[in-house]
Amino acid sequence: MNRVILFNKPFGVLSQFTDKGTQGSARPTLSGFIDEPGFYPAGRLDKDSEGLLVLTDNGALQARIAHPKYKRPKTYLVQVEGTPDAAALDALRKGVTLKDGKTAPATITQIDPPADLWERDPPVRFRKSVPDAWLEITIREGRNRQVRRMTAHVGLPTLRLIRSQIGDWRLNQMRPGTWRWASETGA
């Protein structure tokens, strides 16, 4: 049986076990949170994003989780700067054309601010003169910084991005920096 770990990646943590960046930088990595040999992340979250990261000790399962050809849905809670209008939400639902091509249609819902959300460290920078809103966005692709680029394309820059679900695996009530075991087929 393949082993699966669900991890709530904190803001600022790299989605890898070692920092291959510039010499002398001491950026936090997965090794500061997970001490299980042989596990690798199935997909990535950039260091500025938070939330669900799935890790496994099986390369074939890792590919089935992460590779876009399997079209596994990924759901994000996205705080955006500005007030979404119907045209912006409709454009995201239909797919927007980015530098690397048109995105597949996404499922978009404007939501209330999540009630049980943890504080981010450092806090999100707010501008008192500009409103913000929360969206729930589900995509079936995995392009580099895709959700951030999609929201920026429609004039709604992302302030905070939290992946809450991959396929049937859900973040649920996990706090940042914690992990738990999960089944291969779902959480």
Give the active site residues. 46
Q: How far is CA 139 from CA 11, 16, 24, 71, in A?
A: 21, 23, 36, 8
Tokens of 129: 């003169």
Cis peptide before 122 (omega within 30 of 0): yes
Rounded Cα–Cα distance for residues 177 and 182 (Å): 16
Please name which of 170, 79, 173 lies closest in space to residue 123, comparing C-alpha atoms: 79
Q: How far is CA 136 from CA 9, 30, 106, 155, 185, in A?
A: 18, 26, 10, 17, 23
- C-beta of residue 45 within 8 angstroms of C-beta of residue 29: no
